[in-house]
Structure 1
Amino acid sequence: MTTSRAISRERTAISRDRLSVPARRALDQGVITSNTTVLDYGCGRGDDVHRFQAAGITAAGWDPHYSPEPPPSPADVVLLTYVLNVIDDLREREQTLQHAKRLARQCLVVSTRLRWDDVRGDDHVDGVVTSRSTFQALHRPREFRLWVGLITGIRPLSGGPETAYVFNSSAARLAFVHRAFTDTDDGDHGAQQHPLRQLVAHLERHGRMPAMDERPQLIADLTTEYGTLPRARRAAEQIVTPGVTIVAARRRTADLVVALAMDAFHGRPKLADLPPDVRADVRAFFGSYTKAYRTAEQLLKAAGQPEHICRSVQSARTGKITPTSLYIHIDAIHRLPAILRIYEACAQVLAGRPTDTTIIRLRYDTPAISYLSYPTFDTDPHPEQRSATDVDIGFLRVSHADHARSLNPPILHRREEFVAQDHPMRAAWSRLTAEETADGLFDRPDIIGSRTGWQKVLSQKRKR
C-alpha cells in the first residue's frame, strides 16, 4: 500500500477539446446559466474556463501550479472538477473541499474518479499511483457523496455517479430538484409574442392559468388587452387543442409530487423557497402545500413496498415489461406513473444517473435499477450495449460493467418497445421488427441477445 515515488499532481491536468463532463452536465442541468459566475477551483490548464468565457459566461480559474495568481475569489458556482482525487493527503483533501465550499455562493460542484474507471497503478492510501507518478483516489458513488456531506455539513444532490452538488441555499436546491423532475420546457416564454399566444403556450405547458408571482408581466398585458383574466382564458380556449390542458395538468401534478418526494430526503422545504411556478402548481392542483407534501410522502413510502411497484409496472403504458423488469427509454421516463419515477429517483439519490444512459431497467422482483448505455440506439437497428450500472437499492450497492472492449457485448432488438407511443421513429422501427420476425431472425431468443449469437443467426440466414 506504500510507494516510494514522488507524486506529481500537475501531471494530472489534461488538455480538453470540449467541456469536462461535470462542467457540461452542470450547464445542461441549469446549475450554471448565462447569469452565473463560475470559479474553476483547481482548473489545471484552464480549458473549461476558456470555453465558458467563449460562451459569454463570467468564469475564472485558479490552480496552485498553472494559475496561482490572483488568489481565488467567491463565485455563484464553484467547480471542483477531478481535484480531490489527485490529493493523497486525506487532511488536505478535506481542507480543499471546505475551502471550495466557502467560495461557492450558490452551489459547489464536486467530481471524482470512480472505482470502475480504468486507472491502474500501485496501491496507495485510497487509490493508486500511476506509471506517470500521479495519484488517483478511486471512490464508490454512495460513499463519495456521504463523505462530501460529512465534510461540508450539507447533504449533496447527485449530478451523476461521479458528481455531487452542494447547494448553499434551499431555494437553489429546490429549483434544481424541480427542474430535474419536470418534463416541461420552461425556458423562453416567447415574451415577444402577443399576450394571447403566450397564454396559450402557458396553458399547454402547465395545464393552468399563470399566477401573478409567476408571470406578472403577462398578467398585466392580458388584463390590459381583455379587461379580465376570465375573458382572456375564454379567448385562449378557442385556440388550445381540446384535452391538451388536462394532459398537461396531470403531467405537472406528477412532476410536482416526484420532486417533493425527492427533496423529502432534506426535510420538508418551506413553501416560500419553492420556485414561483411550483407554488402555482401547488395551489392549482392540490389547494394546499400540506396536501401536496403529504401526497409526495405517501408515494415515497409506497415506492419502498414491492407490491406497489409490481402493480404500477403492470399498469404502465410505456416500456417493455418482462417477468422481472420494466425497460424504458430515458426520454420516456416521465410517462411512467409517479411512484415508478420516484422508485427510479431513489437510485439516483444512491448512485446518480450516468450521463450516457439510454435505457433504464426497473426491476420489480427485487429493489434494483439498472442504467444501460446504447450509444447508437437512434441509428443502429440492433445497438450494442456499451455499459451497465446496476444499483441495488435494498443493499445500497452499486456495480458497473463496461462492454466497450468486449468481443461479445449484449445486443438490443425491437427498439420500438422501449420508447413512447408518439416517438417519431416508432412506426418505422415496428415495421422493421415485423419484417425481421417474418424472416425468422427472432426465432432463437436464447442466443440473439449478444453479438456472437446475433451474427450467427444472420450468417445462417444468408446461407439459406
Structure 2
Amino acid sequence: MTSMVARQKTAMTRQSLSRPLATAIGDGIVHAGVTVFDYGCGRGGDLRRLADLDIACSGWDPAHLPSAPRVEADIVNLGYVLNVIEDPGEREQTLTQAWALARDALIVSARLTWDSRGLTGRAVGDGFLTSAGTFQKFYTQHELRAWIESVLQAPTLAAGPGIMYVFRDPATAQSLLIERVRRASRPPEPWISAQLLFQHQDLLAPLVEFLTARGRLPRGEELPQADAIKRRLGSIARAHAIITSAGPEKWVQLRHHHSENLLVYAALALFDGRPRFTHLSPPVRNDIREFFGTYKQWCARADRLLVSAGRQDLVDLALCASPVGKLTPSALYVHTSALGQLPPLLRVLEGCAQTFVGSVPGSNLIKLHRGQPVVSYLTYPTFDSDAHPTLSASVVVNLRKLTIDLRDYRTLENPPLLHRKEEFLSSDHPDRPKYERLTVSERRHGLYDNPELIGNQNGWVAAVRRSGVEIRGHRLYRARTSPTIQ
C-alpha cells in the first residue's frame, strides 16, 4: 500500500505558527529558553517562525529535509505526522523515535474524526485514502491519548483537540494543570489603603504580592525580603495586620479563593494519578498545610467534590445557584473570564471537560448543559467589538460518552447571535456597564418583546429595522441619524 500513498503531498505551506506549537507557547512549554526539534517539519514553516521568536530550533522531514540530522532537544514536536502514516507498525515506531529525542516533553498532534467530513476517497486499513492519493488516520480524542500512553508508558496531558503533551517528569504535567486552574480565576482586588501605599509601599510590595498569589503568610525562606520587613515592623504577622486592616473581608475572600483553587486542582489531578505529597513543590505543600491541615484531608475533600460533580442533581442545583452566568432552561452560559467565579462543583465539571479536550482555541463562552454531563466551548470571534456577535464554532464535550464534536457555523446564512452580553460576565468586569446601557436602550425600544424571533441573525436584523433604530459600536441611534436616543 505504501507505493499508493503520496505522503509528501500532506506537508502544508503555513502562513502562521501551527496550532500545536502556538498552544505550547501559550502554555509556556515552548519559550526562548528551550530547544525545539520539529520531527516531520514539512517545508519548515514552523522552524522559520520559531526562529523569528528567538527560539532555538531545528527539524527533519523524510520528504522535504531528509539529509538533516535527527537530534535531541528539550521539546520535540510531532505535528500531524502520525495520521499520514498508513502502516500501524511504522506509526508506533515513529512515535517512539520522536520520544527518544525529547529531553523534557513531546508534543503530539493528529487529525480528529471531525476532520474527515467532506473528504472523498475510500477506506484503507485503519484509515482513509483520499482522492489526492494521501492517507489519513482519524482519531477520537480518547483514542489518541490512550494509544500514546500505551506505546510510551508516560504521563500525558491534553493540550487541545487532537494535541497531547507527553512529559518526562510527571510533576511538569501537574504544574501545568494547577496553572490552568489558577489562570481560570483571578484573586480579589487589592485591599491596601492609600495610607499604607504611601508609608510602606516599597517595603511591603513583595509581601502583598505573595499574599495575593498564595492567600497565606510566607513560611521559612519563601519571602527573601522577610528580614527587612521584620527589622522595620517587628514581624511578618504585624505587617500582615497592617495590610489587612484596610479590608479584612478581602483577606477572608482571598483565602477562600485560593483554597477553592487547590480543591479544584486536587479533584482534577485524580484523572492522571494524583501526585504524592513529596512530589509537589514546596510552596504547594505549604498551601495544603495552611488550608487543609494534611494531605489526606485535602485528598478526601477533593474526592467528595469529584463525586458530587458526577451527580447530575447536584450539578443542576449548582447551575441554578451560580453567582455568574446566564441561566436558561437548558444550560448555564458563562464567559471564560468569569469561570473562576463559578461554584467549585461547576469548576470541576468544566475542568473535567478541559482535562479531556484541552484548551479550545478561540472559545470565549462556556455552556454547561443541564440534565446531562455535557460542556460546550463556544467561539464568538467578535465578542468584544460587536454588540451582537454571531457564533462561529462550538466544541461539544460529552463526559458520559467521552466524545467531542466540532460544529462549524461560519457558512450558515442565519447563524445564532448574542444579545445582553453583560449577563455572561462577572459583576466587576470593566465592560459590563457599557453592555448594560445598550441593553436598557434596546429593551426600551421593544427589541426584546418577541425573544423567540431574535435568537438568530436574520430575526435580530429584522427586529432592529422594524424599531427604526441602528446600532453602532455599543450605542443605539435613530436610523440614518446621529443623535443618540439613550
TM-score under structure 2 normalisation?
0.87
Give the structure 1 partner of residue 296 of structure 2. 290
Deviates more, 1:197-206 or 1:323-332: 197-206
Give the structure 1 partner of residue 93 of structure 2. 95
- Unaligned segments of structure 2, at least 5 residues: 188-200, 470-478, 480-486
Give the structure 2 partner of residue 150 of structure 1. 150
Shift of 1:4: 9.8
Equivalent residues of 2:186, 2:340 under 8 A apart: no
Q: Residue by residue, what CA displacement relative to the aligned partner does 1:163-203 show, whole Å, maximum 9, x if unpaired? A: 111122121111111111113689xxxxxx94521111221
Q: Residue by residue, what CA displacement relative to the aligned partner does 1:283-314 show, whole Å, maximum 9, x if unpaired? A: 22112111111111111111001121122112
Give the structure 1 partner of residue 373 of structure 2. 367
1:376 counterpart = 2:374: no
1:422 counterpart = 2:424: no
Shift of 1:235: 5.0
Give the structure 2 partner of residue 413 of structure 1. 419
Name the CA distance, whole Å, in 2 between partners of 1:326 and 1:162: 26
Q: Residue by residue, what CA displacement relative to the aligned partner does 1:338-389 show, whole Å, maximum 9, x if unpaired? A: 1111111112233334212111111121111111111111111111101122
Please tell me the residue identity of whatever aligns with 1:33.
Answer: H
1:277/1:446 Cα in 2 relative to 1: closer, same or farther (>3 Å)? same
Shift of 1:27: 1.0
1:173/1:219 Cα in 2 relative to 1: closer, same or farther (>3 Å)? farther
Name the CA distance, whole Å, in 1 between partners of 2:220 and 2:177: 23
Name the CA distance, whole Å, in 2 between partners of 1:237 and 1:458: 50
Give the structure 2 partner of residue 190 of structure 1. none
Name the CA distance, whole Å, in 2 between partners of 1:459 and 1:210: 60
Shift of 1:15: 2.7
Name the CA distance, whole Å, in 1 between partners of 2:172 and 2:151: 20
Give the structure 1 partner of residue 482 of structure 2. none
Equivalent residues of 2:17, 2:45 under 8 A apart: yes
Q: Residue by residue, what CA displacement relative to the aligned partner does 1:52-108 show, whole Å, maximum 9, x if unpaired? A: 233232322222233334432222221111111121221111111122222222221
The alignment-based identity, stated in percent, is 36
Give the structure 2 partner of residue 165 of structure 1. 165
Give the structure 2 partner of residue 233 of structure 1. 240
Give the structure 2 partner of residue 201 of structure 1. 209
Identify which of 57, 77, 81 aligns with 1:83: 81
Give the structure 2 partner of residue 114 of structure 1. 112
Name the CA distance, whole Å, in 1 between partners of 2:427 and 2:186: 20
* Other structure's SS at 1:230 match: helix
Equivalent residues of 2:2, 2:86 under 8 A apart: no
Equivalent residues of 1:141, 1:352 under 8 A apart: no
1:185/1:25 Cα in 2 relative to 1: closer, same or farther (>3 Å)? farther
1:226/1:48 Cα in 2 relative to 1: closer, same or farther (>3 Å)? farther
Give the structure 1 partner of residue 178 of structure 2. 178
Q: Residue by residue, what CA displacement relative to the aligned partner does 1:223-263 show, whole Å, maximum 9, x if unpaired? A: 5665643344345446x654333222222111111111111
* Other structure's SS at 2:64 match: coil
1:290/1:33 Cα in 2 relative to 1: closer, same or farther (>3 Å)? farther
Equivalent residues of 1:319, 1:327 under 8 A apart: yes
* Other structure's SS at 1:210 match: coil
The root-mean-square deviation of aligned C-alpha atoms, in Å, is: 2.5
1:72/1:446 Cα in 2 relative to 1: closer, same or farther (>3 Å)? same
Please tell me the residue identity of whatever aligns with 2:144.
Answer: F
1:246/1:33 Cα in 2 relative to 1: closer, same or farther (>3 Å)? farther
Name the CA distance, whole Å, in 2 between partners of 1:69 and 1:273: 42
Equivalent residues of 1:319, 1:419 under 8 A apart: yes
Give the structure 1 partner of residue 50 of structure 2. 52
* Other structure's SS at 1:446 match: helix
* Other structure's SS at 1:272 match: helix
Shift of 1:149: 1.9
Deviates more, 1:316-325 or 1:96-105: 96-105
Please tell me the residue identity of whatever aligns with 2:149.
Answer: G
Deviates more, 1:439-448 or 1:331-340: 439-448
TM-score under structure 1 normalisation?
0.90
Shift of 1:155: 4.6
Deviates more, 1:260-269 or 1:347-356: 347-356
Q: Residue by residue, what CA displacement relative to the aligned partner does 1:122-172 show, whole Å, maximum 9, x if unpaired? A: 123344334443333222222222222222223521111111111221211
Identify which of 293, 303, 310 aligns with 1:304: 310
1:456/1:125 Cα in 2 relative to 1: closer, same or farther (>3 Å)? farther
Name the CA distance, whole Å, in 2 between partners of 1:431 and 1:162: 41
Deviates more, 1:281-290 or 1:4-13: 4-13
Q: Residue by residue, what CA displacement relative to the aligned partner does 1:207-227 show, whole Å, maximum 9, x if unpaired? A: 2123336x3534455456656
Deviates more, 1:417-426 or 1:52-61: 52-61
Give the structure 1 partner of residue 4 of structure 2. 6
Shift of 1:21: 1.1
Please tell me the residue identity of whatever aligns with 1:288.
Answer: T
Equivalent residues of 2:159, 2:357 under 8 A apart: no
Equivalent residues of 2:309, 2:345 under 8 A apart: yes
1:443 counterpart = 2:449: yes
Please tell me the residue identity of whatever aligns with 2:81.
Answer: V
Shift of 1:462: 3.6
- Unaligned segments of structure 1, at least 5 residues: 187-192
Equivalent residues of 2:98, 2:106 under 8 A apart: yes
Name the CA distance, whole Å, in 2 between partners of 1:232 and 1:60: 51
Q: Residue by residue, what CA displacement relative to the aligned partner does 1:7-64 show, whole Å, maximum 9, x if unpaired? A: 2222222232322111111111122233222222111222222322332323222222
Deviates more, 1:78-87 or 1:124-133: 124-133
1:72 counterpart = 2:70: yes
